């Protein structure tokens, strides 16, 4: 099944029109996301092309293998049916006359119809192609000018007002499929062919300005960006869509802008811009709109504004906006945290702010019971990414806390001294408390490192490890287990005699009593007396 699409977004409609080789044509409502109308007048025959009227959004034309071009309203009412001697492969509405449509037929002829009359006969029939005509396209800038692409490998330029072919473009070695007029430079035409190439033409003298060889199969479709007329997209049987720029063809215009030349040297009328020998000039609606805006501006910094506006006009999407945001920041303007700017190149003064904002956004998932949603990063993945941003920003404590939340205590404790020794001590104490609550003996080194002798004695006592508890109490009395913050300051006194803390002495006596009691209840009276005797000593 093949598809032919035409998109329209206007004040009264926001729909896509599509045609298929098997199932007729239909309208999609973009807002509702569903088909709202089907057109079945071609029956079981293939539809090759569908075209929406440029001037009247109520009218849609289709043509197909049944040899008909059918004009209808969007409500489905048929206005006119034009019978051809063979299959009709292309149709296109005039951009200047809402009642005029051209068709391309398998018999090699181009026909022009005028639907305001009741006649079903064409007003004009243009002959000259030696094989079927696949596409026809009216010029968006020059009234009465249209082109046609054929399986004979040529493109013909027709002047409706003169009833004549005014040029034949030769160079393709295969059937011509894609055709696209440039909406700003009247003499510029782009074509795509089964010979895998895209060609750029100057229709005034038939010269091929450029040939593109990047596609690996037949080139079928060509279109131009609606607000950036030098950006072109192509599609091919090689399963790729490629984006191109024609900006090198108008370098002189860009230089004139930089040199502060008058807009009259850059923007002209379609008639003047089409004259033989004239270097490229802009003549489309987009450039005229820019000119109108610029002429209303005050004289303050008008050149910078002009460069800004035309840089987006000449450039492909995705780059020029970022450049001018940087210029604004350099000039002292405060930037909002727009997604476009944060994804592009940022001013060095904004790097940390935007990265911190990114980390904060990643951490928001912690407050959601359901994570970030299907198809997105998991909670752990987002927190890990946030932690990596924080450590690069020098937010060591935030990194440690996220590592703790992810269960990666080793990483947190390894860098915690970078915050302070006091923070490392508190973090280690938290680790020890967790391990104690889970009855893990791995808590012992953490308690020793932080000088938590009392907690360690309590832990061993609760688990019946009385000998270990007594050992820890004795070591604490000897001063070998001390908090790290006072380890250096609490050295032995000047006389070389260490005075144990009274609390540790009490703990030692308590451990000795408990051990003696345990020996006694176990029937080891001698061991019980020895334990009590060692305490008295």
3-class SS of residue 423: helix
Residue showing tokens 């303050």: 300
Mutual angle of helices 320-330 and 302-314, in 10-degree steps? 160
Both tokens assigned to 118: 């009741």
Tell me how many degrees the CA angle 244-149-22 measures, rounded to the nearest 5: 90
What kind and span of H or E run contains 223?
A: strand 219-224
Query: Is the whole model's pTM more than 0.85, yes or no?
Result: no
List Cα–Cα distances, 299 to 38, 55, 62, 294, 325, in angstroms: 54, 37, 51, 10, 21
What kind and span of H or E run contains 323?
A: helix 320-330
Beta-bridged to residue 16, according to DSSP, are 7, 28
Q: What is the pLDDT of residue 307?
A: 86
Both tokens assigned to 306: 């002009």
Q: What is the DSSP string of 417-450?
A: GGT-HHHHHHHHHHHHHHHHHTT-TTHHHHHHHT
Q: What is the pLDDT of residue 494?
A: 38
Q: What is the pLDDT of residue 3?
A: 46
Task: Determine the Cα–Cα distance for residues 72 and 62; give it in Å rounded to an integer.
Answer: 9
Q: What is the pLDDT of residue 336?
A: 63
CB 345 within 8 A of CB 329: no
Phi, psi values for residue 536, rounded to 5°: -65, -35
Residue showing tokens 């000088």: 451
- Beta sheet of 241-245, edge-to-edge order: 219-224, 231-236, 241-245
3-class SS of residue 259: coil
Residue showing tokens 């006119």: 80
Residue showing tokens 């493109």: 155
Q: What single-letter DSSP state applies at residue 264?
A: G
Q: What single-letter DSSP state applies at residue 344?
A: S
Task: Determine the Cα–Cα distance for residues 138 and 122; give it in Å rounded to an integer.
Answer: 16
Both tokens assigned to 138: 């009216």
What kind and span of H or E run contains 471?
A: helix 466-477
- Which of these, 268, 182, 274, lies nearest to 231 by C-alpha position? 182
Q: What tens-digit pLDDT sequence spans the chain (537 residues)? A: 344 444 444 445 788 888 888 878 999 888 888 999 999 999 999 999 999 998 888 899 999 999 999 999 998 899 999 999 999 999 999 999 999 999 999 999 999 999 999 899 999 999 999 999 999 999 999 999 999 999 999 999 999 999 999 999 999 999 999 999 999 999 999 999 999 999 999 999 999 999 999 999 999 999 999 889 999 999 999 999 999 999 999 999 999 998 999 999 999 999 999 999 999 999 999 999 999 998 888 766 788 888 888 888 888 876 677 777 777 777 767 666 565 666 667 667 666 777 777 787 788 755 555 554 555 678 888 899 999 988 888 899 999 999 999 999 999 999 999 999 889 989 988 888 888 888 778 888 888 887 777 777 777 777 777 777 777 777 777 777 777 654 444 444 434 556 776 776 777 677 677 666 665 666 665 444 444 444 444
Both tokens assigned to 421: 């020794």
Three-state DSSP string of 163-221: CEEEEEECCCCCCEEEEEECCCCCCEEEEEECCCCEEEEECCCCEEEEEECCCCCCEEE
- Which of these, 39, 36, 43, lies nearest to 19 by C-alpha position? 39
- Residues near 427 by beta carbon (within 8 Å), at least 6 away in sequence: 400, 404, 412, 413, 416
33 C-beta neighbours (distance < 10 Å), count: 7
CB 200 within 8 A of CB 230: no
- Residues near 437 by beta carbon (within 8 Å), at least 6 away in sequence: none
Q: What is the pLDDT of residue 226?
A: 87
Q: What is the pLDDT of residue 231?
A: 94
CB 172 within 8 A of CB 192: no
Three-state DSSP string of 67-133: CEEEEEECCCCEEEEEECCCCEEEEEECCCCCCEEEEEECCCCEEEEECCCCCCCCCEEECCCCCCE
Beta strands 176-181 and 164-169, pairing class: unpaired
């Amino acid at each position: 099944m093949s598809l032919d699409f035409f998109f329209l977004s206007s004040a009264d409609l926001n729909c896509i029109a599509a045609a298929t080789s098997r199932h007729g044509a239909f309208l999609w409502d973009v807002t509702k996301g569903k088909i709202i109308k089907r057109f079945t007048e071609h029956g079981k025959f293939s539809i090759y092309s569908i075209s929406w009227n440029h001037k009247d959004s109520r009218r849609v034309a289709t043509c197909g293998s049944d040899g008909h071009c059918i004009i209808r309203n969007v409500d489905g009412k048929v206005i006119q049916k034009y019978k051809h001697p063979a299959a009709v492969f292309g149709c296109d509405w005039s951009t200047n006359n809402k009642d005029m449509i051209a068709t391309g037929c398998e018999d090699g002829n181009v026909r022009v119809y005028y639907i305001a009359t009741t006649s079903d006969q064409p007003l004009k029939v243009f002959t000259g192609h030696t094989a079927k005509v696949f596409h026809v396209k009216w010029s968006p800038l020059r009234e009465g000018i249209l082109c046609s692409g054929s399986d004979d490998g040529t493109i013909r330029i027709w002047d409706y007002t003169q009833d004549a072919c005014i040029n034949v473009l030769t160079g393709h070695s295969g059937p011509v499929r894609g055709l696209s007029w440039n909406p700003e430079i009247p003499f510029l035409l782009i074509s795509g062919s089964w010979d895998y190439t895209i060609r750029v033409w100057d229709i005034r003298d038939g010269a091929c300005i450029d040939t593109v060889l990047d596609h690996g199969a037949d080139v079928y479709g060509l279109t131009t960006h609606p607000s950036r007329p030098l950006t072109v997209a192509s599609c091919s049987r090689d399963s790729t869509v490629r984006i191109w720029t024609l900006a090198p063809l108008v370098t002189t215009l860009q230089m004139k802008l930089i040199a502060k030349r008058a807009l009259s040297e850059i923007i002209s009328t379609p008639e003047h811009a089409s004259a033989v020998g004239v270097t490229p000039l802009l003549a489309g609606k987009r450039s005229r709109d820019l000119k109108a805006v610029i002429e209303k501006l005050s004289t303050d910094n008008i050149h910078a504004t002009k460069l800004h506006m035309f840089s987006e006009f000449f450039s492909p999407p995705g780059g020029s906006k970022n450049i001018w945001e940087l210029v604004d920041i350099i000039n002292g303007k405060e930037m909002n945290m727009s997604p476009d700017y944060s994804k592009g190149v940022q001013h060095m003064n904004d790097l940390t702010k935007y990265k911190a904002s990114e980390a904060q956004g990643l951490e928001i998932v912690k407050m959601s019971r359901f994570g970030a949603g299907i198809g997105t990063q998991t909670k752990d993945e987002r927190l890990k990414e946030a932690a990596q941003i924080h450590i690069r920003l020098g937010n060591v404590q935030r990194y440690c806390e996220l590592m703790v939340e992810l269960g990666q205590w080793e990483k947190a404790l390894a860098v915690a001294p970078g915050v302070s020794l006091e923070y490392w001590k508190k973090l280690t104490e938290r680790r020890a408390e967790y391990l104690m609550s889970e009855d893990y003996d791995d808590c012992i080194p953490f308690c020793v490192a932080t000088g938590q002798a009392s907690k360690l004695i309590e832990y061993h006592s609760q688990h019946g490890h009385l000998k270990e508890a007594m050992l820890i109490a004795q070591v604490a009395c000897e001063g070998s287990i001390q908090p790290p913050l006072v380890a250096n300051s609490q050295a032995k006194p000047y006389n070389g005699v260490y005075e144990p803390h009274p609390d540790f002495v009490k703990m030692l006596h308590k451990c000795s009593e408990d051990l003696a009691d345990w020996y006694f209840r176990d029937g080891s009276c001698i061991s019980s007396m020895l334990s009590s005797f060692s305490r008295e000593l």
